Amino acid sequence: MPTKSKIIYTLTDEAPALATASLLPIIRTFASSADIEVDLSDISLAARILAAFPERLTEEQRVEDGLAFLGDLAKDPDANIIKLPNISASVPQLRAAITELQEQGYDVPEYIENAQTDEEKEAKSRYAGILGSAVNPVLRQGNSDRRAPAAVKAFARKHPHSMGKWSKSSRSHADYMRGGDFFSSEQSVTMPEATDVRIEFVPNGGQPVLKKELSLEKGEVLDSMFMSAKALDAFFEDTLQDCKEAGVMWSLHVKATMMKVSHPIVFGHAVRVFYREVFDKYGELFEQLGVNPNNGMSSVYEKIKSLPQSTQDEIEEAIHACYEHRPEMAMVDSVKGITNLHIPSDVIVDASMPAMIRNSGQMWGRDGKQKDTKAVMPESTYARIYQEMINFCKTNGAFDPTTMGSVPNVGLMAMKAEEYGSHDKTFEIQADGTMRVVKADGTVLMQHEVEKGDIWRACQTKDAAIRDWVKLAVNRSRQSDTPAIFWLDQERAHDLELTKKVKEYLKEHDTEGLDITIMSYNEAIRVSMERLIRGLDTISVTGNVLRDYLTDLFPIMELGTSAKMLSIVPMLAGGGMYETGAGGSAPKHVQQVMQENHLRWDSLGEFLALGVSLEELGIKKGNVRAKVLATALDKATERLLENGKSPSRKAGELDNRGSHFYLALYWAQEVAAQAEDADLAAEFKPLADALTQNEQTIVDELNAVQGKPAELDGYYHANLDTVFKVMCPSTTFNKILDDFKK
């Protein structure tokens, strides 16, 4: 018998928490056969509030601090955590939870925005650790491993999503700078020893100004680069002229949300160039009004509201005059007249480009019709991959989800790697001069001559993160028996530094029989796509930005969405976290339960995450039964999808509970049918038989409770016993599960 193992299943909020109550008994039943315990760890908003104020609660009221527990566990090599979506609490949500807890008799304090007393301040400070995205930063202690699970892939092949046809004559393309961008100015150094450096700006003829101090680790890679504001403006103007001449629509694709310092500035440049005459004429007025072009044209429309109507009309006329001589611009919402330049967060490159490519390479024009488009992405580093894919689709037609292979990703994410950790080291230059990175001893490591308006930034990548990423790539390649390509551009300073490390760290692993190569981005995507249309899989091993881009790009082609991807964070310490689903915790679904006792949360993400969680346990602990359970679960999930046993939207039909029953049925049947572990098959035979024979009875029992309100004894802090009772209403099903555990 293998060592006793444990899976930590997070108890979160709202719909996922309700679904957990239905699914957990099944998981526990099945896992017990492989000697695996499944423990709940409560990181719901309510639990986090209670954990923050133990001194105000009675002994019985006190709860374990689940997040602290998981934070510690993340550093344990044995960690195996299934992480469900939780509430990233806004202030109103926090206040509602507090009120509910108080009503239940918990003496938690009010959240007072304008805290005065020490007590209020202390409470506010503790609540600050609970508000917003408080969970992920604690748990995501590693690099990223994302892939389309076999079951999902098989389903997509049989039931493909729609894909827009590509014309060989399409005029659509990606356009990017050929100089003056971050790519062309990038410098990169690796620290031979731990080093303190300072980033400073030396204005021409002036004294150095300290911008930032950094303590770098041994082996850490530090990059610096800048984008020329002049080159950027010239590029935008060129793209606009080119579109006007060619009669092609213009659109801008940046990532102002994630690249929250640099990209809004880039966006602002586009706004000022497109509406050049408006800003030339009203620039001073706009400044007085506080217009910020980095916030898009919405900022203009909002700020000019304070002006007399006649001035407003004049400005709006000037804006419309721009449209006369500019090319047509892609619309975000043609009905409402929302253009591509309205708000910087409307068009996010990693989502918008796959959508455009899936849509025949077209975006929507002012008339609501889709048209060929120039997709403008100033920074050339990553934009080139989209042009590659566009060329590929022109040549080979749209991808075919029914036959195409897959491109999983192993991404360098840990320890705020690369550009995604650069926000506190990004500066818009205020005067002509020199930006430089200087060691404590005065040695200049890197420097750039910059001009007013240029965007300068530095990025860090820690050695430990890189080393782990290489390990993860080798493991994934081995475990999937799939070729892996490190996307490293040999014309990029940063990637040259990484290439050295990758080559070095690859030696630490047994790569015998594996196909692991290093290719430039263009070559890598091309090879991956050539394989893709031949039904072959290729692991992309990429930096942080490409991780983000590719885990939308390929899934959207393959599956129609990136939400069905398996998202694993193998912790640096050796443990693993398996994230489920994408996005929120579906409060609307809870309402439906309260009104008509029907839950339509789709647990697909949990099924998938559990599959890898079990698989990993099997591999790490030599637990053959865990591996068998994992394989059987994937097959069960596939059958569930295939047979349409996901929750219906309508009360009285199959809901979450029924869907879970079918998962149990198929899962038991698959375990009973497999030949790898005959004992286990024999053990599961009676369970499979019992579930098969009682299918109709159980489904009827599960559906019978629907149609009338359900009482959960709380919303944020429901009574767990009550919830379990509501979510497990079939006595037949409950008994079969109980009997199996003996």
Query: CA-CA distance, 288 to 522, in Å (whole number)?
Result: 46
Query: CA-CA distance, 224 to 201, in Å (whole number)?
Result: 13
Residue 643 assigned to a binding site: no
Instruction: Choose the binding region for a second copy from 389-397, 418-426, 600-608, 645-653 (rule: CB under 8 A).
Output: 389-397
Pairing of strands 576-579, 566-570: antiparallel
Instruction: Choose the binding region for a second copy from 147-155, 246-254, 294-302, 495-503 (rule: CB under 8 A).
Output: 246-254
Q: How far is CA 607 from CA 106, 301, 496, 618, in A?
A: 35, 47, 40, 16
According to the binding rule CB under 8 A, does residue 395 interact with a second copy? yes
Shortest approach of a second copy to residue 575 CB, angstroms?
41
According to the binding rule CB under 8 A, does residue 61 interact with a second copy? no
Residue 146 assigned to a binding site: yes
Shortest approach of a second copy to residue 598 CB, angstroms?
48
Name the residue with tokens 């992309």.
Answer: 540
Q: Which of 41, 80, 251, 387 binds a second copy (CB under 8 A)?
A: 387
206 three-class SS: coil
Shortest approach of a second copy to residue 170 CB, angstroms?
7
Nearest to 227 by CA among 383, 445, 8: 383
Nearer to a second copy, 166 or 364 (CB): 166
Q: Which residues, 495 to 524, sit near a second copy by CB under 8 A?
A: 522-523
According to the binding rule CB under 8 A, does residue 595 interact with a second copy? no
According to the binding rule CB under 8 A, does residue 492 interact with a second copy? no
Query: CA-CA distance, 383 to 423, in Å (whole number)?
Result: 20
According to the binding rule CB under 8 A, does residue 372 interact with a second copy? yes
Q: Which residues, 153 to 172, sit near a second copy by CB under 8 A?
A: 167-171
Residue 589 assigned to a binding site: yes
Q: Which residues, 527 to 566, sit near a second copy by CB under 8 A?
A: 527, 530
Query: CA-CA distance, 516 to 124, in Å (whole number)?
Result: 51
According to the binding rule CB under 8 A, does residue 242 interact with a second copy? yes
Shortest approach of a second copy to residue 608 CB, angstroms?
34
Q: Which residues pair with 436 in a beta bridge?
A: 200, 447
**List of E strands, 154-305:** 173-175, 187-190, 195-203, 209-216, 221-227, 249-252
Shortest approach of a second copy to residue 391 CB, angstroms?
4
Nearer to a second copy, 168 or 336 (CB): 168
Nearer to a second copy, 248 or 498 (CB): 248
Shortest approach of a second copy to residue 165 CB, angstroms?
11
Residue 134 assigned to a binding site: yes
Query: CA-CA distance, 230 to 271, in Å (whole number)?
Result: 14
Q: 19 and 603 in contact (C-beta within 8 Å)?
A: yes
Nearer to a second copy, 211 or 526 (CB): 526
Give phi and psi for 7, each to the nearest 5: -110, 130
Shortest approach of a second copy to residue 246 CB, angstroms?
4
Name the residue with tokens 């020329």.
Answer: 228
Nearer to a second copy, 391 or 434 (CB): 391
249 three-class SS: strand
Query: CA-CA distance, 669 to 689, in Å (whole number)?
Result: 8
Nearest to 670 by CA among 151, 159, 36, 3: 151
Shortest approach of a second copy to residue 166 CB, angstroms?
11
According to the binding rule CB under 8 A, does residue 708 interact with a second copy? no
Query: CA-CA distance, 206 to 198, in Å (whole number)?
Result: 17
Shortest approach of a second copy to residue 362 CB, angstroms?
13
Nearer to a second copy, 145 or 175 (CB): 175
Nearer to a second copy, 173 or 439 (CB): 173
Nearer to a second copy, 386 or 601 (CB): 386
Residue 84 assigned to a binding site: yes
According to the binding rule CB under 8 A, does residue 248 interact with a second copy? yes
Shortest approach of a second copy to residue 504 CB, angstroms?
23
Determine the residue type at 673. Answer: A
Tell me the number of residues near a second copy by CB under 8 A.
24
Q: How far is CA 352 from CA 223, 364, 558, in A?
A: 28, 12, 16
Nearer to a second copy, 381 or 426 (CB): 381
Q: Which of 6, 140, 173, 685 binds a second copy (CB under 8 A)?
A: 173
Q: Which of 394, 509, 685, 725 binds a second copy (CB under 8 A)?
A: 394
Long-range contacts of 735-742 (CB under 8 A, 24+ apart): 736/687, 736/690, 736/691, 736/694, 737/25, 737/26, 737/29, 737/664, 739/690, 740/29, 740/686, 740/687, 741/28, 741/29, 741/32
**List of E strands, 228-262:** 249-252
Q: 606 and 566 in contact (C-beta within 8 Å)?
A: no
Q: Which of 253, 269, 374, 494 binds a second copy (CB under 8 A)?
A: 374
Pairing of strands 5-11, 80-83: parallel
Q: Which of 187, 312, 391, 447 binds a second copy (CB under 8 A)?
A: 391
Binding site for substrate: residue ranges? 133-140
Binding site for D-threo-isocitrate: residue ranges? 146, 547
Binding site: residue ranges? 83-88, 133-140, 146, 350, 547-548, 552, 584-585, 589, 600-602, 649
Would you tell me which residues interact with a second copy (CB under 8 A)? 167-171, 173, 175, 242-243, 245-248, 372, 374, 387, 391, 394-395, 522-523, 526-527, 530
